[in-house]
Amino acid sequence: MTMRLQDIYTFFVVTRAGSMQDAATEIGVTPGAVSQRIKAIEERSGNRLFSRSRKGIALTRAGEALWSDVSEAFSAIEAAHERHVAPAPAAQIRISAAPTFAYACLVPRLGEFTNAHPQVRITIETDHRMADLRTEPIDLAIRHGLGEYAGLTSQWLSSPELIVVGSPELLAGGKPIDSAVDCLAYPLLRDTETVCSDWHLWCKARGIDVEKARFGPAFKDDFLILKAAVQGQGLALIHDVYVHEELFRGDLIKACEAAWPTHFAYYAVALPDTFERPAVRTFVQWLKSVSQEPFRSGPAAVRHGNAQKPSGRLTPISS
């Protein structure tokens, strides 16, 4: 009698999975095909292999005897297949980052990483809230703060500066900015989350009366502020790491050289064991190396009464 090995293997998978449906999914066939294979064994042996009830399926005495004979052999075959035949499973990294950081820092360069490491699959989720790395399916979070998170490990990525930027068209049509106080001649775009605190602190540090400022529209996140600045709606006080591409293309230029170092930095944050995973370690090393690259000088942009090139200077970043 010809032995149909696929029927016996199907019996093995059904018994391990506990249902015909789950076995069909695992093998990649229809539930009907699974039933036919089990039926073929039963017809050849003359014994029922499973008893069926509302609770599912259970092995009969004949089924238990067959399972005892074949389970160890098929388990060994599967293990050998995984070791010598099956391709290595793709490594998955699920990342949580603020929308602006993802847009400005991750997405523009991510293709370089995926091309160099096709076996690593990256998923990026954006949210303003902090993901709970202990209870949510997030491997790595990019957080802006002091790097101190109880029970988590942080690796420093970059320390941004707040710089003042505006569109070439806006600056060409307004008062020349020769010092920080001249920024008050323009609408100042603000963040609804901080209620203008960045501009207030920036002005206070330079002895400028913020009450003389003319504030423009308020936006919930830096991405919207950046968009409004490109459209010429006002000046933006924004992290330098967010405007690399806009400065390079000449969509924005630095309105003045009065940068403001912040006490906060960007960190890669994860559970301690997560950083030991090879894929995560490789990704974080790549992210650090990208952060260390100097920003490229952009094309010249002319503003009223002055000619100014977009500054390519950023705060030096090291690992």
Give the per-residue pLDDT at 135. Answer: 83
- Considering the domain architecture, whether residues 156 and 176 belong to the same structural domain is answered as no
Residue 74 and residue 153 in one domain: no
Distances (CA, A) of 224 to 99, 158, 220, 229, 242: 10, 22, 7, 9, 12
Same domain, 301 and 193: yes
Cα separation, 207 vs 107, whole angstroms: 38
Q: Are 255 and 282 in contact (CB under 8 A)?
A: no
On whether both 271 and 127 belong to a single domain, the answer is yes
Residue 96 to residue 155: CA distance in whole angstroms: 15
d(CA 222, CA 238): 7
Q: Are residues 63 and 147 in the same domain?
A: no
Residues 6+ apart with CB under 8 A from 23: 10, 13, 14, 16, 17, 34
User: What CATH number is attached to the domain comprising 152?
Assistant: 3.40.190.10
Q: Tell me: do 57 and 186 sit in the same domain.
A: no
CATH of the domain at 45: 1.10.10.10
Asked if residue 115 belongs to a domain, the reply is yes
Query: Are 254 and 269 in a shared domain?
Result: no
**What local confidence, expressed as pLDDT, does residue 2 receive?**
65
Q: Is 79 found in the same domain as 17?
A: yes
Are residues 275 and 166 part of one domain?
Answer: no
- The pTM of this model reads 0.54
In a domain, 199, yes or no: yes
242 shares a domain with 304: yes
Same domain (yes/no): 203, 301: yes
Q: What angle do CA 148, 159, 182 make, to 5 degrees?
A: 130
pLDDT of residue 68: 94
Burial of 91 (0-12, 13-18, 19+ CB in 10 A): middle
How confident is the model at residue 149, as a pLDDT? 87
What is the reported pLDDT for 88?
A: 61
Residue with tokens 């988590």: 152
Residues 49 and 194 in one domain: no
Domain count, the chain: 3
Find out whether 296 and 312 touch, Cβ atoms under 8 Å: yes
The pLDDT value recorded for residue 15 is 93
Taking the C-alpha atoms of residue 275 and residue 268, their distance in angstroms, rounded to an integer, is: 10
Radius of gyration of the chain, Cα coordinates, nearest whole angstrom: 30
Angle between helices 31-45 and 20-27 (to 10 degrees): 110
Q: Which residues span the domain enclosing 280?
A: 91-160+264-292
Mean pLDDT by 10 residues, the chain (319 residues): 84 92 87 92 93 85 94 90 72 88 84 91 86 88 87 88 92 90 92 70 84 86 88 91 86 85 82 91 90 46 33 29
Q: What is the pLDDT of residue 311?
A: 33
In a domain, 317, yes or no: no
